[in-house]
Every structure is written in C-alpha cells, then in structure tokens.
Structure 1
Amino acid sequence: MRVFIAIEFNGELKEFFNEIKLQAKDLSAGGNFTHKDNIHLTLKFIGEADEKSITAIKEAMKETVEMIKSFTLLTKELGTFSRKSKHILWLGVGGEMDKLKTVYNELEDVLDRRGFNKEERPYSPHITLGRQVIIEDLDSIKDKIRMEEREIMVDSISLMESKREKGALVYKAIYRCSLQ
C-alpha cells in the first residue's frame, strides 16, 4: 500500500482551491492538474508500507498529536518548483507556521524512532495544484487569478492511501488523528 500523511481540507476549501486550479489551467499551456478531491497539504511522504508499517505509522501519528492544539493556516500566493520547462504549480500557506513546523518536526522525530527515514530536504509546505504545468510567465498568471486569503483550520492529520481506481489517481484517508 502506498501512503503519506497529510492535512485534509473541507469541501468549501477544496472548491476554493479547485477554482484557483481551473483558472491556472486556463492560463497555462498544459499540465497534469490535481483532481479536486485529491487536494491536500503533505506532511510526510512514506511510500510503500505493509500492515506492520501502517500500524507503526498510526502509533506515531497518535503520539505526535498528543500535545498539539488545533491551529490556523492561511492561503498565500501561487508559486512553482521548476523542472526544466515544466513546473509544479502550488499554493503557498502562511499563518501559524510555527505550529505547522512543530507538527512536521515531531512527526519526523517520532517516525524516525520507529525506523522511517527522515526527509533530507527542508520542509516546504504547499498545496500542489498541478504537475508538469507549462507556464510561460508565472507573474502574469498571478496577476490574472483572483486570489483571496482563506483560513485553513488544522484540527487533524490523516494517513492517506494513494491508489489507482479506473485509471485515476485517488487519495483516500484510511486513518485520522485529531489535534487537541
């Protein structure tokens, strides 16, 4: 089973992110855009995991959230990670970033103690809207897309399964842990 740990969004936020994505899609020359139901904020990519590993991940998630209270993030501007002529298009987050980083760091430490490798790259929280996106001018797209700041209430973290169903990539929550 292929899994990752993420912050999920409610339906209203997914609609908001989807509208931004659709505007960006119209303004780009192509790409693979994230399905509305798959929009999330990744905390930790795990990859392939067996049942024993899934149990350890769930225990790590429970331990991570024991002393962490709910917090609020805010949507920020669009950005990209460049890969030659194609880009990963994302929406940035702000707000209570110290609390987000606490969740991330605690999760990394607890998973590390259970035998999962720590991420070597610095954590760069973002909401992926599209991959392999062909954009000529990101600033032009930013100017044309109607952006407004939205609050993201973070009150749980989720273990997500990534699988293909009828040829489509689907992310499904298989376990959730509520923050305090």
Structure 2
Amino acid sequence: MLKLRLFIAIPLPDNLLDNIIKCQNSLKTEKALSNSGARFTSRENLHITVLFLGYLEEKSVDQLLEIIRQTTNRVSPFSLTPVNFTFASPGAPPRMVWLNFQKNDEYNWLYRNLSRPVKDFFNKSQQKFDYEKREKLIHVTAARFKSPPVKNETDKIKLPAISHEEFLCREIILYKSILKKEGAQYVQISRFNLT
C-alpha cells in the first residue's frame, strides 16, 4: 500500500521570499553556522507549515481533501506579519533558524479547525497523527543544522532583520514530501482558496 508523507502549508509571496533569501545569504557568511553544517531551505521549499500530517495511504487522500475543503470554506483570507529571525526550537539547543510571525487569531482558528477533523479522520482510518494542542508558533524554517552550533558562538551571531510588511494569506496547499539524499522535495497535491 503506497503511503504519502503529507503536510498543509501557507505559500509565501515573492517579495517575502526575496527578503528571506537575502537574509539567508547574509547568514551564510557566519563561520559558526558553516561549522554546524547549516543547510539553508531552498526558495521553492520555503513555506509556513500549518499542519504536518505524516504518512497517509494514497487511497485516503480524496477524503482528506474534502475535510480540508470543508474547513477552508469557513475561513476568510487573513494577514500575517513577519517579526524576526531566531534560533529554534525554543528552550532547546539550536537546530534551526526560524522566521517568526506575529500571533494571529485567524491562523490559530484555521489550525484548530483543521487539526480536529484531521485527527478524527486519521483515528478512524487507524493511522497515526500527532496533534499539538498547544498554541502553534507561526514560522518559516530558513535553515537547519546537522549539529547545534556552540552556545558561545551563537551568541556572537547577529541574526538579520526582516521587513515587517504583512501579507494576505489567501490559500493553503496540501503537499507531499519526497525525501531524497539531497533534501526534501515538495510536490503540490491541491490548493484551497480561503473564502
């Protein structure tokens, strides 16, 4: 039985992608990051993950599409505002660089109202789905480290500033993730307009 590795994400506008790439380029000059085996997320893979679904049998994808459609039909477009770059995950040795966004009630509503029916669907189909009940931090993963940079080295790194220009989220996308030696490849399965 073929299983697909799936996630739901918000695509980013070109101007924000340009800014992230510019910031990544400035980070590439930081010696401490190159020593940690930093891999920078490619432009085509930059997104905001709303929900990581894990593996789902291909035959069940149509049912999942309908669940997503029912939720997105009840959501209006909403604005998201980038705030700053930080080392992540919070409270742990740095393994990534995130671009964080302001908290957003509409995003949280979308997250909760996708999570519940998706969790029920996965339970009924006896497939594993890890639902995070805590408030989700809205972010884009800009870089990942093979090994965490040394603490006293990260303290010296000046993470770049980013424009706080908000963008309008008008759609979400269901992607499948194909894991390859050179990194993950993301393929769109379906787009859902927010109405």
Question: Shorter-chain TM-score: which interval?
Answer: 0.7 to 0.9
TM-score computed with the length of structure 2 as normaliser: 0.80
Structure 1 residues 139 and 166, CA, compared in 2 at 3 Å: closer, same or farther? closer
How many corresponding residue pairs? 177
More displaced stretch, 105-114 vs 50-59:
50-59
Give, as a single letter, the amino acid of the residue that structure 2 aligns with 1:10: P
State the shift of 1:3 in Å.
1.2
Higher strand content, 1 or 2: 1
Tell me the residue number matched to 1:25.
28
State the shift of 1:86 in Å.
4.3
State the shift of 1:92 in Å.
0.4
Give, as a single letter, the amino acid of the residue that structure 2 aligns with 1:33: F
| 1:133-173 C-alpha deviation (Å, 9 max, x unpaired) | 6362357413xx24221222101110011114684422122
Contact 2:102–2:138, Cα closer than 8 Å, also in 1: no
Structure 1 residues 101 and 139, CA, compared in 2 at 3 Å: closer, same or farther? farther
State the distance in 2 between where 1:138 and 1:147 align.
Answer: 19
State the shift of 1:52 in Å.
2.6
Does structure 1 residue 15 correspond to structure 2 residue 18? yes
More displaced stretch, 149-158 vs 45-54:
45-54
More displaced stretch, 152-161 vs 120-129:
120-129
Does structure 1 residue 173 correspond to structure 2 residue 188? yes
Tell me the residue number matched to 1:129.
142
Contact 2:45–2:186, Cα closer than 8 Å, also in 1: yes
Q: Name the SS of the counterpart of 1:141 in structure 2.
A: coil
More displaced stretch, 1-10 vs 36-45:
1-10
Does structure 1 residue 94 correspond to structure 2 residue 127? no
Q: Which runs of 4+ in 1 moved over 3 A?
A: 82-86, 164-168
Give, as a single letter, the amino acid of the residue that structure 2 aligns with 1:29: L
State the distance in 1 between where 2:50 and 2:93 align.
Answer: 27
Contact 2:27–2:33, Cα closer than 8 Å, also in 1: no
Structure 1 residues 89 and 167, CA, compared in 2 at 3 Å: closer, same or farther? closer
Contact 2:6–2:56, Cα closer than 8 Å, also in 1: yes
Higher Rg of the two aligned structures: 2
TM-score computed with the length of structure 1 as normaliser: 0.86
Say which of 108, 117, 121 aligns to 1:110. 117
Question: Kindly, what percent of the aligned residue pairs are identical?
Answer: 23
Structure 1: any 5+ residue segments left out of the alignment? Answer: none
Structure 2: any 5+ residue segments left out of the alignment? Answer: 124-128
Say which of 68, 71, 77 aligns to 2:75. 68
